[in-house]
Amino acid sequence: MSTPTPTPKRYVQADQPEGVPPLELTGERTLPDVPEENYWFRRHLAVYEWIAPRVEGMQVADLACGEGYGSDVLAGSAAEVVGIDANPEAHEHAKARYVRPNLRFERDLVENVSGPLGAVVFLQTIEHIEDVPALLEAIASAAPLAFISTPNRLTLAPEGAEKSDNPWHLREYTIAEYREVLEPAFGSVEIHGLFHAGKLAVHERAIALGWDRVHSFLRITKPFYDRFTPAIGAGDFELRSGPDADLERALDFVAVCRE
């Protein structure tokens, strides 16, 4: 289990605050509050937490904000955040659950983003978009700074495949393909890679040494991962950049795009 995969089972958030409608885990968006989904939630959260201090004091749009947890993280440092999502259930949930004076939610298509803004945050969604160049032009026109992330096809999809089996992804990118699609819209593009750290890095090394065979032989797979997966934190991921980062092995690419 070098990279846990989303579960096909149906889950609904439990124990939500009063008046907050729970969301179902669809596979298209990730959710907090679902232990089996914790790897993917923390993988997303780590990037939001990395971005938050970099948008301090700015007016920020969080496009395709989903459940709203990321917009809430950004609002801890930004001057104002608007979380934008077209899904009606996600919109109702987010505006009921995350309440701050500097945070609001709008139900709209990401393609309708407009400025002036200080920054746009657009995470793990570009792979869902039909007309990517048009959307990137809209983002570049709305703000001088954008944070745009996507999974690395080389670590998400089977070797040699054009994409993973995620039915909502229209396309997935290698590092070279990602640069090629981003650079025409922005003056500069700096790409960071998200990697396992902490206990996930230890787990990755254990896999390389044959841990998959061991837990299967001992018949402890389910009890081990029932404990391990909920224990994963955002600190079990790290962002790297530069010539030594080996971005082709990254889990996700996080692009910092400037006008």
Which position has the token pair 């709203």?
A: 68
Q: Which range is least confidently modeled, 2-11, 20-29, 210-219?
A: 2-11
CA triple 221-225-231, angle to 5 deg = 160
pTM score: 0.92
Alpha carbons 143 and 136: distance in angstroms, whole number: 11
Which position has the token pair 């948008």?
A: 55
Domain 19-258 of CATH type 3.40.50.150? yes
pLDDT reported for residue 4: 52
Task: Report which DSSP code applies to 138.
Answer: H
Joined tokens for residue 208: 């390389």
For 21-70, what is each residue's pLDDT tens digit? 999 888 778 999 888 899 999 999 999 999 999 999 999 999 999 999 99
In sequence order, which residues have a C-beta less than 8 Å from that of residue 2 and are 6 or more positions away? 204, 207
pLDDT reported for residue 6: 47
Residue type, 125: T
125 touches 64 (CB < 8 A): yes
For 80-93, what is each residue's pLDDT tens digit? 999 999 999 999 99
Longest dimension (CA), the chain: 58
Joined tokens for residue 227: 């404990």
On the question of pLDDT at 2 being above 70, the answer is no
Q: Which helix (H) or strand (E) holds 107?
A: strand 103-107
pLDDT reported for residue 179: 96
pLDDT reported for residue 71: 98
135 touches 114 (CB < 8 A): no
